[in-house]
């Protein structure tokens, strides 16, 4: 999944670069990152979370009401340490690897313990596609009273890297104690669930009687039960994958993550309305299609088994996709821009010279960086100190901090004056160059073909007349507006 999302970021960045050639690398990266984050938020809250917490949990979560600066969006200890590790009970002991016909590849299924620390399998055994097909077409592990976590996790975890294999269940229990989490009963009380005085009080959450007897034998009293153990053993709520305790913790955490995030994708200040509409077209199925090596068919909702959907599989190109055309930055045609709406490289030097950072005062640099001219510059301070504009300031500095502070201030003042003078000279030079270029453009307009000087060109090269209107697709209408004399390169 990390590989799939990395590819999604790079795919978006490549498309953004094509539609916005004037963007620099940092702008492209940040906008692609922003879109990927929004896709993840939309998929998580709209497609994945309902399958985990069920309809009741979604009603508890409620809809987005806007950014609330009073909400703490950090991750709670109990969420990170216990509740969000519910997924360990859903992991299959064997990873199915399927080809384009949804039959096993020649290397066969992969036992889970052989998948850890084996990145070479992606290169030599079919790439990411077989694993992705196995994940979206094979059911997750069924949690039973006799086996909550499969034996690959409790008896053979990281067997390749350790002399003695680890036990994930034991690690989860010990982690909760290391983090100082209160017991199962304490969180039941916090979630408005009945505190259990006896294990029979848990009959509605842990319905298997033999399982409750095992807990009684191990812990003696419900108040001694670790929160991860109690939460993971609860029967799933209707329509979800977790019990009522973990549902409570997840709902509270995902509400905080959403409402306390000022960059939340539905916040009106983050995306334009038309861009947000496109973000809501995204799905994990489409992300997998766009970034797999050769995935052409997929179930429309990858969080639901194909056999529970009609049709079971659909062609990738039929799935809705984000149209990045709504991220196109348009600009009017004028003498500073060419016909494609891109800033001419010859006119960029002006802005660079005006905002460029000047070198800092030499006596604030490291001694090893100071060259031989430093002494000459220090001697020249006497001339600046005699400047009538600085006399009053220097006198104040002598009273407050002595001659050394006065020297430092003078050097800084000198540096700023020199920087301003250089900037003004550069500005005058650029203005002279601009005047010559404008004069040439005016001459070109006078002697050039009038049909060309009153037209614009589409990306595909189609020539359009001034005031002409056309529709490249059903969503967009374009109009050729020539605001000044333009020229074709």
Q: Which residues are annotated as a binding site for heme b?
A: 88
Q: Do residues 91 and 141 touch, judged by C-beta distance below 8 A? A: yes
CA gap 160, 139 in Å, rounded: 26
CA gap 182, 194 in Å, rounded: 16
Q: Which residues are annotated as a binding site?
A: 88
The continuous run of DSSP H or E covering 126 comes out as none
Output the CA torsion sign for 191, 194, 197, 201: negative
Report how far apart, in Å, the C-alpha atoms of 111 and of each of 20, 107, 147, 156, 165 are: 46, 12, 17, 10, 15
Token pair 């949804």 is at which residue? 102
Question: ∠ at Cα 325 (319, 330), nearest 5°?
Answer: 175
Q: Which residues contact 344 (CB under 8 A, 6 or more apart)?
A: 336, 337, 338
Q: Long-range CB contacts (< 8 A, 24+ apart) of 103-110?
A: 105/130, 109/134
CA gap 349, 332 in Å, rounded: 20
Angle between the N-to-C axes of helices 128-137 and 284-291, in degrees from 0 to 180, rounded to the nearest 10: 160
Question: ∠ at Cα 389 (385, 390), nearest 5°?
Answer: 40
User: Which one, of 356, 76, 86, lies nearest residue 245 by Cα?
Assistant: 86
Number of residues written out for the chain:
489
CA gap 202, 243 in Å, rounded: 12
Integer-rounded Cα Rg, in Å, for the chain is 33
ω into 124 cis (within 30 of 0): no
Partners of residue 298 on adjacent β-strands: 314
CA gap 195, 223 in Å, rounded: 9
């Amino acid at each position: 999944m990390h590989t799939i999302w990395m590819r999604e970021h790079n795919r978006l960045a490549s498309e953004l670069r094509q539609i916005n050639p004037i963007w620099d690398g940092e702008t492209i990266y940040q906008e692609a990152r922003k879109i990927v984050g929004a896709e993840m938020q939309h998929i998580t809250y709209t497609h994945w979370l309902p399958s985990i917490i069920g309809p009741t949990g979604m009603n508890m979560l409620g809809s987005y009401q806007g950014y609330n600066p009073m909400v703490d969006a950090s991750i709670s200890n109990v969420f990170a340490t216990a509740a969000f590790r519910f997924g360990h009970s859903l992991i299959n002991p064997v990873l199915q690897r399927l080809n384009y016909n949804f039959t096993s590849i020649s290397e066969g299924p992969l036992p889970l313990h052989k998948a850890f620390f084996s990145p070479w399998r992606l290169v030599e055994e079919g790439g990411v596609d077989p694993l992705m097909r196995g994940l979206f077409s094979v059911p997750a592990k069924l949690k039973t009273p006799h086996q909550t976590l499969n034996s690959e996790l409790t008896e053979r975890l990281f067997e390749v890297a350790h002399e003695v294999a680890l036990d994930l269940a034991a690690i989860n229990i010990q982690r909760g104690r290391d983090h100082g989490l209160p017991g199962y009963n304490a969180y039941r009380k916090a979630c408005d669930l009945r505190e259990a005085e006896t294990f029979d009080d848990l009959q509605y959450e842990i319905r298997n009687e033999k399982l409750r007897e095992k807990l009684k034998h191990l812990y003696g009293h419900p108040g001694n039960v670790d929160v991860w153990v109690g939460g993971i053993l609860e029967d799933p709520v209707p329509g979800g994958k977790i019990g009522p305790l973990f549902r409570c913790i997840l709902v509270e955490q995902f509400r905080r993550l959403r409402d306390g995030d000022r960059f939340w994708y539905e916040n009106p200040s983050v995306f334009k309305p038309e861009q947000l509409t496109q973000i809501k077209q995204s799905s994990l199925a489409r992300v997998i299609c766009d970034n797999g090596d050769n995935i052409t068919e997929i179930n429309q909702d990858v969080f639901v088994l194909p056999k529970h959907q009609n049709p079971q599989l659909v062609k990738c190109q039929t799935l809705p996709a984000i149209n990045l055309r709504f991220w196109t930055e348009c600009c009017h045609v004028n003498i500073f821009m060419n016909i494609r709406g891109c800033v001419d490289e010859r006119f960029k030097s002006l802005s660079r010279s005006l905002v460029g950072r000047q070198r800092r005062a030499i006596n604030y640099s490291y001694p090893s960086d100071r060259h031989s001219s430093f002494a000459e510059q220090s001697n020249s301070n006497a001339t600046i100190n005699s400047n009538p504009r600085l006399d009053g300031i220097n006198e104040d500095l002598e009273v407050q901090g002595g001659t050394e502070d006065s020297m430092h201030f003078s050097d800084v003042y000198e540096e700023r004056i020199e920087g301003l003078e250089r900037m003004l000279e550069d500005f005058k030079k650029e203005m002279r160059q601009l005047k010559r270029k404008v004069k040439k453009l005016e001459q070109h307009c006078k002697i050039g073909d009038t049909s060309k000087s009153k037209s614009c060109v589409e990306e595909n090269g189609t020539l359009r007349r001034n005031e002409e209107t056309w529709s490249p697709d059903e969503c967009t209408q374009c109009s050729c507006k020539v605001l000044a004399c333009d020229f074709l390169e």
